[in-house]
């Protein structure tokens, strides 16, 4: 089984970025959502992006953001991909992909089989769907350390590339990979010591657990 690609989301410091690179993560996520404890300004993201150049992919996370905010972040942080984590429709996702000419990932919150079935409506509009947990009303739409029933996406064979997010930690990611056979895992709060504070040791442990999950 090929090793799942790793995305470490919510990178807001140089130390966290270096830890993700050392751990051989494929993608670093920058959160552009002011309500998040992981929010970065376009200026902060630009400095991190400069350091990331050629070493790790740069994914910008947005929640129902407007074109102006996305445009500023794409240009400043030279993003390789947009991760849409709000209620963006397939039409909106396709419009952003056409406008910015970079990969678009759509996060879909999952609690039932109907939720995973929604992924098909994004075929042709996005490059990847990211299955994540539903979060309670009035809280952040992600980054809460909540997971969902992984059986709902086990061996998912849809028309789009996919990944798994939601409550993944160094302790449970190997089990998640074995059960679902996901090609990509995304974590944020699971590799933190406090909300918004990335822990280099936990990032390394997460990556080792991901690689270990392929050796069976």
Ligand X SMILES: O=C(O)c1ccccc1N[C@@H]1O[C@H](COP(=O)(O)O)[C@@H](O)[C@H]1O
Catalytic residues: 9, 132
Partners of residue 32 on adjacent β-strands: 62
Tell the smallest beta-carbon distance from residue 169 to ligand X (Å): 8
Tell the smallest beta-carbon distance from residue 109 to ligand X (Å): 9
Tell the smallest beta-carbon distance from residue 75 to ligand X (Å): 22
The secondary structure element, H or E, covering residue 188 is none
- In angstroms, the CA 207 to CA 139 distance is 28
Phi-psi region of 23 (alpha: psi -120 to 50; beta: other; left: phi over 0): alpha
Which residue, 174 or 216, has its beta carbon nearer to ligand X?
174
Which residue, 17 or 61, has its beta carbon nearer to ligand X?
61
What does the binding site for ligand X look like in residue numbers (CB under 6 A)? 9-10, 29, 31, 33, 36, 38, 61, 63, 85, 107, 130, 132, 140-146, 165-168, 186-190
**Measured distance between the N- and C-terminal CA atoms of the chain, rounded to whole angstroms:** 9
Among residues 135, 203, 209, the alpha carbon closest in space to that of 172 is found at: 209
The secondary structure element, H or E, covering residue 90 is helix 90-100
- In angstroms, the CA 23 to CA 204 distance is 5
């Amino acid at each position: 089984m090929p090793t799942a690609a790793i995305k470490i989301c919510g990178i807001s410091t140089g130390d966290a970025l270096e830890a993700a690179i050392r751990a051989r993560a494929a993608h670093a996520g920058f959160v552009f959502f002011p309500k998040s404890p992981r929010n970065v300004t376009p200026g902060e993201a630009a400095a991190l992006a400069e350091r990331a150049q050629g070493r790790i992919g740069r994914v910008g996370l947005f929640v129902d953001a407007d074109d102006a905010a996305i445009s500023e972040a794409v240009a400043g942080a030279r993003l390789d991909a947009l991760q849409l984590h709000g209620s963006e429709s397939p039409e909106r996702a396709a419009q952003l992909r056409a406008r910015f000419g970079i990969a678009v990932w759509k996060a879909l919150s999952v609690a039932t089989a109907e939720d995973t079935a929604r992924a098909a409506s994004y075929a042709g509009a996005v490059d990847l769907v990211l299955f994540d947990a539903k979060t309670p009303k009035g809280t952040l739409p992600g980054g809460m350390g909540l997971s969902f029933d992984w059986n709902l996406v086990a061996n998912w064979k849809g028309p789009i590339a996919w990944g798994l997010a939601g409550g993944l930690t160094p302790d449970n990611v190997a089990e998640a990979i074995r059960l679902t056979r996901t090609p990509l895992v995304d974590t944020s709060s699971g590799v933190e010591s406090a909300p918004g504070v990335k822990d280099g040791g936990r990032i390394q442990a997460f990556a080792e657990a991901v690689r270990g999950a392929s050796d069976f």
